[in-house]
Amino acid sequence: MGNTCESNQPTSNLISPERSPEELQLNKTIKLAIMASGNGSNFEAVAKAIQEGRLNAEIKVLIYNNPDAKVRSRGENWQVPAVLINHKEFKKRQDFDRAIVKTLKEYSVDWVVMAGWMRVATEVLLQAFPNRVINIHPSLLPSFRGIHAIEKAINAKVKITGCTVHLVSLEVDSGPILIQAAVPILTDDTPETLHARVQIEEHRILPQAIALAALNESGTIKE
Ligand code: GRF
């Protein structure tokens, strides 16, 4: 024995690339839209990062597509204007995205962050905000694209999964990767316990990745 690491709880997780808070400081306040379909913990993580001075940004608008989404009340708590754009009211995905783009322009948004946005982006959105749409996904892409990524990782019996923040392209859960965080899968993990630990990392890397995207674009950081 003599081993003090008997617990199978991980002590720290790997994030790459790892940038210091100083490196991630933006010299200009960027204007964000957050798009979310459900719970909204990632929306809140971005709002907190802004409040705590870790991200020089302003959330101009929260767009949600499900009338009952919990993120709506989170938006109210943070006094962020929330706009419901219900995908069920549109026959074509492009028309849904056209309504979204109209709102994004009305709020003079620079960057669009899909934080638990359960709709697939079309060329309408991506052409309006080229290389400026960001998504967070609960796996180490390119593994486990699409829905149920947490369950897929458990079923595949991989030992490490995690989360990825990336720029959005037309193909689902593809596009250039900004930051990834690794999360070990424990023997007794359920989808709920694993997702909870993945979300801790999501909340950590999403604000960092937004800053990194802006710094990459301005040429301040070169990977
Ligand atoms: C996150 O796990 C994200 O990776 C996925 O949807 C979930 C949204 O969580 N795309 P929340 O609504 O931000 O709590």
Indicate whether 223 belongs to any domain.
no
115 close to ligand 1 (CB < 6 Angstrom): yes
| 133 located within any domain | yes
Count of structural domains, the chain = 1
Q: Ligand 1: does its nearest atom lie under 6 Å from the Cβ of 40?
A: yes
How does DSSP classify residue 211? Answer: H
Q: Judge whether residue 127 has pLDDT over 60.
A: yes
Minimal-distance CA residue to ligand 1 atom 8: 116
Does 85 fall in a domain?
yes
In this structure, is residue 222 part of a structural domain? Answer: no
Q: Give the pTM.
A: 0.94
Q: Residue 132 falls within a domain, yes or no?
A: yes
133 Cβ contact partners less than 8 Å away, ≥ 6 residues apart: 111, 112, 114, 121, 125, 126, 167, 168
Q: Determine the structural domain holding residue 166 and report its residue range.
A: 3-217
Indicate which residue of 137, 166, 195, 203 is catalytic.
137
The answer on pLDDT for 6 being more than 70 is no
Residue 196 lies in a domain: yes
Ligand 1: distance of its center to the CA of 86 in Å?
19
Residue 172 vs residues 157, 167, 216: alpha-carbon distances, Å: 23, 11, 22
The CATH number linked to 110 is: 3.40.50.170
Per the annotation, the verdict on 148 as an active-site residue is no
Residue 223 has pLDDT above 90, yes or no: no
Tens digits of residue pLDDT in 129-176: 999 999 999 999 999 999 999 999 999 999 999 999 999 999 999 999
Residue 204 forms part of a structural domain: yes
